[in-house]
Amino acid sequence: MDNQHNLPEAFLENMKRLLADEYGAFLNSFSEGRKNALRVNRLKMTADEFEKDAPFPVRRVPWTENGFYIDYRDQPGQHPWYRAGVYYLQEPSAMVPAAVLPVSPGDRVLDLCAAPGGKATELGARLGGEGGLVANEISSSRARALERNIELFGIRNCVVSNETPARLLERFPEYFDGVLVDAPCSGEGMFRKDCEAARAWYPDKVRECSEVQKEIILQASDMLRPGGYMVYSTCTFEPDENELVIAHLLTCRDCMELVEIPCGGGRESFARAFSMEELAGKGYDTSGYAHADTRGAVRIWPHRSGGEGHFIALLRKRAGEKHSDRKRAADKRSADGSKNIDISRGDYQLIAQFASKYAPGINIDIDRCVVKDGRVYLMPEDCPDIKGLKFLRAGLYIGDLKKKRFEPSQELAMALEPSRKLAMAFGQEAKPLCEPGNTLCRAALNDDLPADDGVRVYMSSEDKRLQSFLRGETVRLETGGENGWRLVCADRWPVGWGKLINGVLKNHIPAGWRKGA
Ligand code: SAM
């Protein structure tokens, strides 16, 4: 072990061989502080709005549209906007893989190794509610964390599955427009921020990971539709887990080609991946892969970029059109098949009535409502066939049917759009409503009385009653508003349901969602 940083000797030897002249700078980077960042949820706020209104100092991460450096001493994980799913705390290099995968609304996207959801949440947000995301995780315990993050982000059109890549491939050959493989790896890029990762490392781990990665990447590419794009990424430095895995794919699947990731536009500090020739010169076994061109992929080195270590390759399957193009063409032909209805008309009426008041932005089609043990799910419009697969959720759990009543779910609250009307000062009908960014809003929201427009209650993120509500407590409102459901918002963003009864807001945030839970 290296005395200063407790890094495994064999790892240091590998890095010396790989980095040559840059090895000293690389080692020095272990003494530098790590950079913390967050990524803004596009479904809830634009990056420009966030930059203007952020509740603590932020600075843009240069290589991605919606990433911001932050100071952890500002406790961004404690802020109500975090609880409202406005942002995800993420290491800045880890933002790159999802950022470089071309995704547009209407696409079918797969995140094959998705937990806890750092990339899946960005991919889902980029779909903007159209098309569908399959966020898969092989470990069932990790899949639960993934599910929670998808819910927190308010992503409606997602299936969270818990399957092996092989089982998914049986069901989805050449199905997806975009695939992300953020592969399990030896984690060397995380050594700087996570001493445990360094302790868990052993020389053979690299070889073991490489074997798994070579298998996964072929399965992933077989799920990609001709014309579709795939990103392969790791957080490790070893060529055996990076360039040589890409070379393996390019050698085994001649339909796949590497697409160069441009290193301009804020990505100047990224390094080009090694070529087979360079690796052979450094003593790596490139036999069988000599003709594979891997230079278009990129490496993020901590001593060059400040972020943790990453490898990212963008690939494309030759020819073909994207699903979203075909779907648009099919929509034009307005094909209309017979509809499968899973819910009684009466129950649907209850939901539709509730939705017309509280969730006007969500299209609740009767043929997309599925009822299971009284729980109502709204399936994605273009839901893949998941019968027989292990999955945690499909679409959005919108609430429960209870004795001729409909009770909305926390997941529905999180998926509802932020209010354009930031706040309505209580008791002053049609008082000019604040728009985001207007400092007057802050003043209105800091007022002692929370605003109540009969559907939503807006509380300032600085209001102590909001903290109480997030902990699951009942809150006295005294707004004089009519009794009934209220969608409680932290500033503009929904955080859960309350029921107003004679000036008292009863808390309906489920136990597992409460602050401190
Ligand atoms: N993409 C995630 C994110 O951004 O939050 C991180 C994914 S992590 C690097 C790799 C994931 O692959 C782990 O969650 C791990 O459980 C999963 N994994 C491990 N072995 C696997 C295998 N054989 N096939 C597919 N996934 C595997």
- The number of the ligand 1 atom at minimal distance from the alpha carbon of 216 is 24
- The number of the ligand 1 atom at minimal distance from the alpha carbon of 111 is 1
419 and 456 Cβ atoms separated by less than 8 Å? yes
Give me the pLDDT at residue 172, please. Answer: 97
Give me the pLDDT at residue 6, please. Answer: 82
Q: Which residues are 166's β-sheet partners?
A: none
Instruction: Collect all residues with Cβ–Cβ distance below 8 Å to 69 and sequence separation of at least 6.
Output: 35, 36, 37, 58, 59, 60, 61, 92
Residue 454 DSSP class:
S
Which residues, given as ranges, of the chain have pLDDT below 50?
1-3, 332-336, 421-449
The reported pTM is: 0.92
Give me the pLDDT at residue 326, please. Answer: 58
Residue 114 DSSP class:
-
Instruction: Collect all residues with Cβ–Cβ distance below 8 Å to 339 and sequence separation of at least 6.
Output: 366, 367
168-194 core/surface letters (b: 16 or more CB in 10 A; e: else): bbebbeebbbbbbbbbbbbbbbbbbee
Instruction: Find the 111 Cα to ligand 1 centroid distance in Å.
Output: 10
64 and 226 Cβ atoms separated by less than 8 Å? no
Instruction: Find the 499 Cα to ligand 1 centroid distance in Å.
Output: 40
Give me the pLDDT at residue 381, please. Answer: 87
CA 169 to each of CA 176, 184, 220, 321, 358: distance values in angstroms, whole numbers, following the listed order: 11, 18, 8, 20, 39
Active site residues: 235
Question: pLDDT (tens digit, 9 = 90+) per residue, 87-145?
Answer: 999 999 999 999 999 999 999 999 999 999 999 999 999 999 999 999 999 999 999 99
CA 58 to chain centre: 20
CA distance 385 to 388: 9
- Domains along the chain with CATH numbers: 341-414 (no CATH), 419-513 (2.30.130.60)
CA 67 to each of CA 95, 190, 432: distance values in angstroms, whole numbers, following the listed order: 7, 19, 33
Give me the pLDDT at residue 499, please. Answer: 96
List phi, psi (to 5°) of 138.
Answer: -70, -30
398 and 377 Cβ atoms separated by less than 8 Å? yes
273 and 299 Cβ atoms separated by less than 8 Å? yes
- Helix 243-252 crosses helix 203-222 at what angle (to 10 degrees)? 40
Instruction: Find the 304 Cα to ligand 1 centroid distance in Å.
Output: 26
Give me the pLDDT at residue 404, please. Answer: 87
3-state secondary structure 349-390: HHHHHHHHHHCCCCCCCHHHEEEECCEEEECCCCCCCCCCCC
Query: Any idea which residue has 């390094």 for tokens?
Result: 271
3-state secondary structure 18-49: HHHHHHHHHHHHHHCCCCEEEEECCCCCCHHH
Q: Which of 113, 169, 205, 392 has most ligand 1 atoms within 8 Å of its beta carbon, as the pocket-test mutant?
A: 113
